Each structure stands twice: as structure tokens, then as C-alpha cells.
Amino acid sequence: MPVAGELTHFNAQGQAHMVNVGDKAETKRIATAQGDIRMLPDTLRLIEEGSHKKGDVLGIARIAAIMAAKKTSDLIPLCHPLPLTAVNVEFTIDRVKSTVRCAVTCETFGRTGIEMEALTAVQVGLLTIYDMCKAVDKGMVMTDVRLIEKIGGKSGHWTTGAISTLPLV
């Protein structure tokens, strides 16, 4: 077992390896991540009104985020494939800041954490918004992607205490 503060994806020789989780107990694991995309007010209005010529931007971004959570181990080299039991994607519009917040909660019952799935889903959800709106706003900025909370496993419950209280769209 690694000592506190050690990186677990390196062996004693300093070589990258996939962590052996075979002896860990299976527990319910939940992780929530979020991030924002800032855009021009006119771009936000197109998304909010559903009048973007490419269609339902947030609906497509929701599906993309779910797909990304399911494919995380294909994208992150040493990430274990996990059987997801739930993926919840929520978008919040902040007209004052001209942003869309993507919050993703992933759940599994397994031997390793699910943080990477939630973080990957947020990034892909935001990238999908960018992709669908880049024709009208190339200057969009994705910011503040971070883990908000994780529950389960040996390390227990962790939270930033910064879960958004913005109304959901």
C-alpha cells in the first residue's frame, strides 16, 4: 500500500502501472464534478431559447456527457473500467455571468473511485456546448472544472463545500 502522499500509479521502480484494486472492498461510490462555460450573452440566449440552428444544445451536451462517463477508461490511460449504475447531468444557466454550468454525478458499486468519470463527463459536456456554438462564438471559455464531492471507498466522504445552489434549467 502506498504511504500517504505517494502517487499510486507508479511502482517501486518509478514505472507507470495500473493500480491493483483486487483486494479492495466493493462499496457504493458517488462523485460529483462541475465546470462552467462562459460565452457571449447572445450565444447564451440562443441556447436558452432553443433557437440555435443545430438544435437542442443542452440536450446533445447531456448525451455527450453520459457517453463520456461510460468511455472514461478508454480515454484516461490507467483508469479502471467501471460499471456505472447512474449518471446524472444537470445544466444551470447564469444570465448575469453569461455562463452555463455543467454538473455531473456518477455512481457505481465497485472497488475504485468514480471521480474520473464525473470529471470527464463535465469536460465533454462543456466541449460539446463549445462545438455546437463555435460558429457564433469562438471566444467561449471553459473554466473551474473540479471535483465537488466524492462518497465511498477507503477515504470516505470528501467535499469542497462549494456545491452550486443555482437554479437548475
Count the residues in the chain.
169
Judge whether 137 counts as a catalytic residue.
Answer: no
Residue 27 burial by Cβ neighbours in a 10 Å radius (0-12, 13-18, 19+): middle
128-152 burial code (b ≥16 CB/10 A, e <16):
bbbebbeeebeebebeebebbbbbb
113 is written with which cell numbers? 473511485
Nearest to 99 by CA among 66, 134, 141, 49: 141
DSSP symbol at 140: -
Please pick, among 42, 131, 137, 144, the residue that the annotation labels catalytic.
131
Grid coordinates 454525478 are at which residue?
105
Give catalytic residue positions.
131
